Amino acid sequence: MNMRAVVMQRGILSVAEVPMPTAGPGEVLVKTLATGICGSDLHTVAHGEKLLASARAVAGIEIFNPNDQIVLGHEICAEIIDYGPQCKRTHAIGTRVISAPFLIRPQPVTLGFGALDTPGGYGQYMVLSEAMLIAVPDHVPSDVATLAEPLAVAIHAVNRGNIDAHAVPIVIGCGPIGLAVIAVLKMRGVGPIIAADFSPTRRATAAKLGADIVVDPRETSPYESWRSAAKTADLAAFSRQTPMFPGFAYRPSVVFECVGAPGMIQRVLAEAAPCSKVIVVGLCMEQDSFQPSYAIMKEIDLTFCIAFTITEFNEAFANIASGRLDVTALITGHVGLSAVPDAFVRLADPEKDVKIVIYPQDA
């Protein structure tokens, strides 16, 4: 039996008829209801060879075979169709579920980078590990449920920052992950939050999601905005002090670099306040460089992060389901499978879309 799917092969997307996957032991066959297009999907299509080379050099792994037909999609909401062998059948057939994008197998599988036997959410059907399933309450729309994954990435980034209660954060880059970081910071009561992006549309979305001060960096430095917002006479709220910057009368600074372009790290190190925490969330696919002396003299903590833990994924969805995180403003469009290649083009223009969700059952 076949299904329709958007497949990637050598960086080219196309709609194809492919075999339906088969649920193995402890696995569930699901009908894919909604799948978010992630920035990493855009990177994989546009810079697949660089992504593969990085993973090979750093971790000694092959994320996928570029010669295979790959079915992307790891931000998913689906409906249980059938159970494979050795399942507990905890959820009834027809239950809507989400899952962190992994299959629990002797050789674990990262969904969204698998070949046709373990497809991601760009196909009409998938297999998921029963142990990873989370039921979606009736009041949560399927498209909103897919946001658990990018919000888990944002929660992980904020957790990696280990943010001081007095901190004034700056978010550089208001793409989907930068916007999700803003939403998480607002939920946790950190602020005021300063957001910077060239795009008027994304600046407006940042304000909707909780940014208190939103700037166009061509006109206003986010770091100067930080100085205005973080100035304080409260000694208890002062940032950590160093001999090179005595009496620095400002609250702690934390900068989330969510752009991932060459030169961004050096720009942040040059302009950020002393003793800042810099959390690098943006995935730069090019070789880059920075001057360590900037970070050394300012005693800046530089932290890198990727993905999330299962606990953070569960926390993200719990906050969506409870209403503590209202992130519907992230979703700016919906498409069926045939329009996915065009959606990738739309997402290259920040004035057109932020997050597009695929409805794989639609043409």
3-state secondary structure of 265: helix
Residues 107 and 243 in one domain: no
**Distance between CA atoms of residues 197 and 207, nearest Å:** 11
Q: Is residue 184 in some structural domain?
A: yes
Q: Is residue 313 part of a domain?
A: no
**Same domain as 243, residue 198:** yes
Rounded Cα gap, residues 102 and 89, in angstroms: 19
Which pLDDT belongs to residue 57?
85
Contact 185, 210 (CB under 8 A): yes
Q: Are residues 39 and 167 in the same domain?
A: no
Give the Cα separation of 149 and 175 in Å (integer).
15
**For residue 248, what is the domain's CATH number?**
3.40.50.720
Q: Is residue 315 part of a domain?
A: no
Q: Is residue 363 part of a domain?
A: no
pLDDT value of position 50: 84
164, 297: one domain: yes
Residues 117 and 242 in one domain: no
The token duo for 203 is 């600046």
What are the DSSP E strand ranges found in 46-155?
A: 75-83, 96-99, 102-103, 109-110, 125-129, 133-135
DSSP string, 41-78: HHHHHHHHHHHHHHHHHHHS--S--TTS-BB---EEEE
Distance between CA 301 and CA 109 in Å, rounded? 33
Counting the structural domains of the chain, the total is 2
Same domain, 156 and 127: no
Q: Is 262 among the domain residues?
A: yes
The string of DSSP letters for 166-212 reads T-EEEEE--SHHHHHHHHHHHHTT----EEE-S-HHHHHHHHHTT-S
Asked if residues 76 and 121 have their Cβ atoms less than 8 Å apart, the reply is yes
Whether 275 and 299 have beta carbons less than 8 Å apart is answered as yes
- Report pLDDT for 65: 85
Do 208 and 97 fall into the same domain?
A: no
Examine the domain organization and report whether 335 and 271 are in the same domain.
no
Single-letter amino acid code for the residue at 90: T
Query: Cis omega (within 30 of 0) on the bond before 192?
Result: yes
Q: Are residues 97 and 160 in the same domain?
A: no
Alpha-carbon distance 66 to 44, whole Å? 10
Q: Is the residue at 317 inside a domain?
A: no
- The answer to whether residue 312 sits within a structural domain is no
The Cα–Cα gap between 336 and 278 comes to 38
Half-sphere exposure of 217 (CA within 13 A, CB side): 20
pLDDT at residue 110, as a whole number:
92
For the whole model, what pTM was predicted? 0.95
- AA letter at 93: I
Sequential pLDDT tens for the chain (363 residues): 899 999 999 889 999 999 999 999 999 999 999 999 998 899 888 887 888 888 888 888 888 888 889 999 999 999 999 999 999 999 999 999 999 999 999 988 999 998 899 999 999 999 999 999 999 999 999 999 999 999 999 999 999 999 999 999 999 999 999 999 999 999 999 999 999 999 999 999 999 999 999 999 999 999 999 999 999 999 999 999 999 998 899 999 999 999 999 999 999 999 999 999 999 999 988 899 999 999 999 999 999 999 999 999 999 999 999 999 999 999 999 999 999 999 999 999 999 999 999 999 987
Question: What number of helices (H) and strands (E) belong to the chain?
Answer: 10, 17
Q: What is the CATH number of the domain that holds 62?
A: 3.90.180.10
Residues paired with 246 in a beta bridge: none
Residue 195 sits in which domain range?
150-304
Q: Taking every pair of C-alpha atoms in the chain, what is the biggest distance, in angstroms?
A: 71
Do 141 and 224 reside in the same domain of the chain? no
Position 321 in a domain = no
What is the separation of C-alpha 318 from the centre of its chain, rounded to a whole number of angstroms? 17
Same domain, 224 and 104: no
Residues with Cβ within 8 Å of residue 53, at least 6 apart in sequence: none
pLDDT value of position 67: 86
Q: What is the pLDDT of residue 247?
A: 87
**Do 239 and 208 belong together in one domain?**
yes
